Structures are given as C-alpha cells and as structure tokens.
Chains A and B, each alone.
Chain A
C-alpha cells in the first residue's frame, strides 16, 4: 500500500483544520523530500459554547499559536498583537511556515462563504457528496474490494458501505459505475428518548436509570473531546452499538466473509472520546461483522481530512501520501460460526511469520500465537528488528472455523503489511451475546476490552 499523491511540484507542509461538532482538530503534515523524512502532528480542542464559525479566525489564531508552540513549528506571525498567517510559497526554513492549508467544516455547522484569512482559504463543507467522493478515492487508493465507513457523530451515526463492482471497469467510468454505495443513518434523538430502556442490555456499567438519563443528556450536550472515564466510554460504546444494530443489510453479512480485501473505517467526533478499544468493540458487535478484514480507527480526524481533500480533485497536488491521511490499523480475524462446546478450550495455534529485513528466511523471525474459545487476543505485528511484513498462519482446533482465509495444508493463511500494527483474533462464540443488563455484561465486556489491547 505504498501510494503517493505527491506530484512533482509538491509542497512541503500542509495544515488541515477540521471544525466538527463541538471540536476543532488541527493536523500539520510536514515532509522533507530531500531526505524522505516526514512528521505529522495533530491536536484537537473543544470549541467554546458560543463558538461562531463565521468568525473562525478569532479562535483559530490562538489555537494555531498554541499548537505551533506545542509542536515546535511556527504557524502564526504575531505582530503588534495581530495574528498573521505565516505562509511560505517557496522552500521552508526548518520549523516555520505553511505552504498550503485547508479548512473543513462539517455540514451541521457550515455556513455559506466562510473564509479564513489566517489560512488563506475558503471553507469546504464536508457534505455527503464530498465524503462519498473522498471515500471512493480511498477505495481506489487502498485497492480495497469493500469498505465500510462508520461515522460516529453526536447527532447521527452514519454508515457508508462501498463495494467495488465485480464487472471489469473501464478507466473512464464514473465512480457511480465502478462502485456501489449504500448509506444508512441513525438519529441519536431516537435513542435519547429513553436511554435506560434502549441501552440497558448493552451497557456494562451498572447505573441507576435516572443517573444514566442525566449522564447521557450531559455528555451529548457538552460533547467532550476526550474522556478518562469508563462510564462515559461505556455509555458511548453502547450508544454506537445500539445505533448500529438498527443497520440491516445483506452486504454487511458478506463483509469479511466473502470479500477479498475489506476495510472497516471508524471515524467521527465520538471516536476520540471512546478510545480505540471501545470504538472497535462497539462497531464490530453493532454491525455484527465476522471474518477477515482490516480496521482503521480515526481518532484524530485524519480520514475526515483526507476524505475532504481527496474529494476535491484539483487539490490533489497539495496532499501528502495517503499513508499520512489514513491511520495504521489492525488485521481482524474472527470465527464465523463460533467455537462449539465450552469456553476456555484451545481455539487455534498459529504463527506470525515476519519477512526478515535483510534475509528472507521466514522461520528465523516467527512468533507463536494461540488463543482460547470465548477470548479476543491481540498480537503485535511490529516487533523489534522485524519488518512488519509477513503472514499469519492459523491451525484451528476441531469445531472452530475462520472464514475467508487461504488454505495451505491444514493451516489457514493471511498476509499483512507494514500499514497494520496488530493482529486481533476474535474467538468469541457467535452470536456474541449481550444482556440482559449491565450487571451481566460487566464481567465479559470488561474482559473483552482488556483483551482488545489496542493501546
């Protein structure tokens, strides 16, 4: 997946500012093409209660000044108390200036004609069309066969299912002819009416009905950007799951099982609050996905930024490598029908075979893996002195079945590359059971989250 969007006349630094629902994210990409080094810094901050997007520079100036200080890159030139943009059109001196920038404003707060003098750009509305265009570009750039984008927002949970059409596509076919897109949307208001009733069977933290109602309404009105609280994360995981359980589609049943190279992307304003483990568990169990697929969790809004920039064809020259706007993810393998019999029995034994960095003797750089039924196990791909490229072989026990993997002898095989950081093997019994209440969920959900070591 070494894809570069950089054209010959590339720029060296790009700043993307995303104004979401209650938060602002800044993403600074800097690449030095002479020595091939690059870095990416991100920061997100809650927006003030009275934030007015039409006078965004008032707030943005201060954010960029602080952000610049924090990452050691001067973004704002403050003269006589006035913040001026530090734009550089030619070569950069180390540690200062931006060559290009983009301002992305989510649809629910977008207003026509918003401009930022600091960034020197007009705002781009991250509307449905732009997102779909961007998502389709991702599908192409990643050479994926299928992609699911789950956008966990405060107002709505949206799901976009993209499937590449099986018939050979001509190069000049439009996106519509090459890719099938299905959309689903669940409004949070329907869940807010009685969260105690609607989330009861999904929550893992026992809370009184009244306390739960207050917490739910508080969190959704204040819209925090991060949380250290298990109660808040559990609430949002249950909310995401409850919303996604409403999404029923045949393509979801095929995803990961009959798909060649499937990607699940989790993005949206809630992801930063949820954290990766809660987000993955909520979405995988909410959509009831099984099989083999990749997962990318977008905590910083990179994919939003990427989708907006990729959706605008003429701006491609200012973008950085797609690997910088697509987070490194996980390879997810799960049983399809589940392991029969009691939990706690051996589900499989296997190996992670790393391709050696200099020699190609696979056996020299292998890792043994094993898991029990009822468990989720997480294994590192990127170990010291290992390239991060290789393959996973799994030898399932009797009664355990991993779908969508190549068969070699009595083993199942799947490859991985350096864009994946961990392997997650989900050996929980299918269907995964929640409920009847938080007390019943507490021990098992806590264990799954602990086992889902994505930190």
Chain B
C-alpha cells in the first residue's frame, strides 16, 4: 500500500510578513532595506487601546445591529461610567446598559464586527521589527493604517480556514495549547496584542473573551461551522463553504483542521509550542499561516518533522512506515494526528497511536502523512 504525503509545515525563504501601524506614522524603511529585530519601522502618533468591548454579548444582538444601540459617536470623549450603549428588552420593562470602565475616546473602527474600543490619548510611538528580512514594499495609508511588507523566512502551513484581516503578532498559547478551553482560561495580560493558540475548539463565548482580552488573532484546531457562520466571513472558494455570508470579524480566525472539535495536528502544534513568543503572520488572502523562523535557513529547525520547501521535496506518495506522523481523515477520529505503530499490509490497515495514547486502525485512503 502507499499513501499521500502532504506536509503540514513547509519551510520557505521569501514569505510576506506584514507589519502595520494604526494612526499617523512615518515609515522609517524603504523597499530593499534590510531589517533586523529591533530596527524601527514606523514612527508616529498612536492611541493605545485601553478597552475592547464585544457589545454583541452585552446587548444580545448580532454584530451588524450593534450600531443601532450606541449612545456615543466615533471619537467622543468618555468618562469612567459613561453609558456607551443601551438596549431596551422585555417589552420595555428592562434595559441592557453598557458603561465605560476607562476614561478615553470612543473608537468605532470595529463596530461592524460588534466591537467598540476605548482608546487613550495619542502619544508618540515607534514600532520596531521583530523579524529579520528585506523590505518588499511600503503600502500607502489606508483607513489610517500604514503597512510594510517584509520578506522573511519561516514555516508555512495551509490551514483549513483563514478568515478575517491579515495580521501579524507574537504567539501565545492558552495552557498547553491543544485542549478544550473555557472563558476563565483566558489571561488578558498574556493575550493582549498577540495571536492566541486556543486549543481544539473555539466557540463564540471563547472568541469574544479572546477579543476582549485584546488579542489580534486566534489559531484553533476546530470550530463548529454554525458558530463560524455566526461570526465569519464565508466564501465559496474550494467548496469549503456552502454559502457566502460577508461579515467583518473582530479578529482573524485560523481553523487549522476542520469543523467541530479537532486538535491542532501534532507537527504544527509542536512548532507552535516551540515558537511560543515568536512571530506569526495570518495571511487570510492566501489562506496561509506563517511562523517566522530564520533558524530554518541554517537547517536547524526546531522540529524534526517539518520539510524544507526550498530544498528537494519529499515524495508526494510513500509507503506508510512505523514512526511516520499521520493525520486521519475518517470518522470517528476526523482530523486527529498520531504516529504509525504498525502497518498491516495483508489487511490493508494502518495502526495509528494518537496523542492520547489510544491506538486506532485506519484504512490507508483515510490518512495522510504530514510529518
């Protein structure tokens, strides 16, 4: 028997990595410049986000309806305790009121996604590079946002779904990164400004909590399709979704494996764990997740089971051999990954040991070698 090999991670040299600055800024680099970690990329005036409020949850409405209940306009100054939004419920017998917990100004930049931010006064700020590479382009200001594209090396994975804006940030894991988490597991201090690895299942409550914690993106193994449709920007590309629903997402979501509760595959998870604190870039346009890694250039990849896409590729088909890391595409272990422990050629079956230690038998057509 032989099976398909489709590496979960590929090392590539010249990958786009975008850095952005929200506010008026001067770009300190130009195309062709080399950047190193610590080099200033933007200098300008930026207002810090003091508080993000996911008003859908507070008001009990859909994201696109939040605007109807707002009492404050964009840029309006707030004192602590000021009412931001009110919705009358129970036939006028009760009200849901959302109050500011901080002083600042209202920012309605993400109101279409149901999020209202309270921002502090503008102050001088510089953004420094966290990666080394070559500046590919400097993009003109768009909706008060400047962007620079830097060409960097890193490990690329092709997730099941990448939805929302393109965004870069440091990686952080909730606990071990691959369990089922609840709202109480979210630590605001750890999540702020980061891309959060949120385990094997993302529901709407957890997503809202991650948004409110100030994260800029979320990576998860699986998510219920119904929940995703509630918040997502769906398209009909590659037959993955059955209908188009165009919505703005508060922060981008990367679903690495599929719909439902599915752990992130072992190869990618190992890399995410090893690189916690490192930089990642969610490229929704290309449906890619890039984990920045210049160590791969010298061949010292932290994970032994990732391929180097710029060198000679491994075969696309191979004989299953004990020790190979595979992903199962059959029920009841849809999307689970593990290691081959036994190949039963006569029965055309492969025995796979999952991360939990459980051993399962799979038909070769129902698995793909990912390591």
Contacts and interface: CB of A to CB of B under 8 A. Distances in A.
Contacts of B362: 228
B365 A66 contact: no
B23 interface: no
B366 A224 contact: yes
B176 interface: no
A48 B6 contact: yes
A214 interface: yes
A224 B225 contact: no
Interface string B294-336: 0000000000000000000001111100000000011110110
Contacts of B366: 224, 226-229
B225 A213 contact: yes
Interface in B317-371: 317-319, 329-332, 334-335, 361-366, 368
B242 A192 contact: yes
Interface string A45-59: 111111000000011
A232 B330 contact: yes
Contact of A62 (B258, B317, B365): B317
B316 A215 contact: no
B331 A227 contact: yes
B205 interface: no
A210 B329 contact: no
A193 B243 contact: yes
Residue from B224, B239, B362 with most neighbouring chain A CB atoms (10 Å): B239
A62 B315 contact: yes
A59 B315 CA distance: 8
Contacts of A224: 329-330, 365-366
Nearest to B365: A226
B223 to A, nearest CB: 9
A48 B327 CA distance: 13
Interface in B125-176: 158, 160
SS class of chain A's interface: helix, strand, loop or mixed? Answer: helix
A220 interface: yes
A215 to B, nearest CB: 7
Interface residues of A, number: 38
A218 B242 CA distance: 12
Given A154-B239, A228-B330, A44 B365 contact: yes
A189 interface: yes
Given A221-B258, A222-B258, A227-B331, A48 B316 contact: yes
Given A44-B365, A49-B6, A213-B225, A229 B317 contact: no
A228 B329 CA distance: 10
A213 B226 contact: yes
A45 B316 CA distance: 11
A232 B330 CA distance: 8
Nearest to B6: A48
Nearest to A194: B242
A305 interface: no
A231 B365 contact: no
A210 B226 contact: yes
B259 interface: yes
Interface string A178-221: 00000000000100110000000000000000110111011011
A383 interface: no
Nearest to B314: A62
Contacts of A227: 330-331, 363, 365-366
Interface in B256-308: 258-260
B3 interface: yes
Contact of A231 (B222, B243, B332): B332
Interface in B91-138: none
A233 to B, nearest CB: 9
Interface in A22-76: 44-50, 58-59, 62-63, 66-67, 70
16 contacts: A47-B4, A50-B158, A59-B316, A66-B318, A193-B243, A214-B225, A221-B238, A222-B258, A224-B365, A224-B366, A226-B366, A227-B331, A227-B363, A228-B361, A231-B331, A232-B330
5 A-B pairs with least C-beta separation:
A226-B365, A229-B331, A214-B259, A192-B242, A214-B260
Given A67-B2, A210-B226, A225-B365, 12 more contacts: A45-B365, A46-B368, A49-B6, A49-B158, A50-B158, A63-B317, A70-B1, A217-B240, A224-B329, A226-B366, A229-B366, A231-B332
